[in-house]
Amino acid sequence: MRQLRHLEDCCVKISIAKMDSKGRTVVSAIERALKDSTKLIAVTHASNVPGKINDIETIGNFCKNRNIRVLVDAV
């Protein structure tokens, strides 16, 4: 988030998809956060905050079908 906030300060608009009740990022939340100008979706594969693993295959397919690039933080 620090890097995204830095980019937001200089030149990028960001939207944040809310996690579901189990602490995962789901496609329906991403879809609600989309803007017409969305060019990239950044998502973590696994987060140590809620301790959940996101379904990056489904998220990746969602992005591919909409010609939106996806960046997966897999660190």
Instruction: Tell me which residue range forms the domain holding 59.
Output: 2-73
How high is the pLDDT of residue 18?
87
Total domains in the chain come to 1
Pair 62, 27: CB distance under 8 Å: yes
3-class DSSP state for residue 16? coil
Q: pLDDT tens digits for 9-36?
A: 888 888 889 888 888 888 999 999 999 9
d(CA 16, CA 12): 13
pLDDT at 11: 84
Residues 70 and 59: beta-carbon distance below 8 Å = yes
Q: Which residues of 10-47 are buried (b: 16+ CB within 10 A; e: fewer)?
A: eeeeeeebebeeeeebbeeebeeeeeeebeebebbeeb
pTM for the whole structure: 0.81
Percent of the chain past pLDDT 90, that is, above it, reads 47
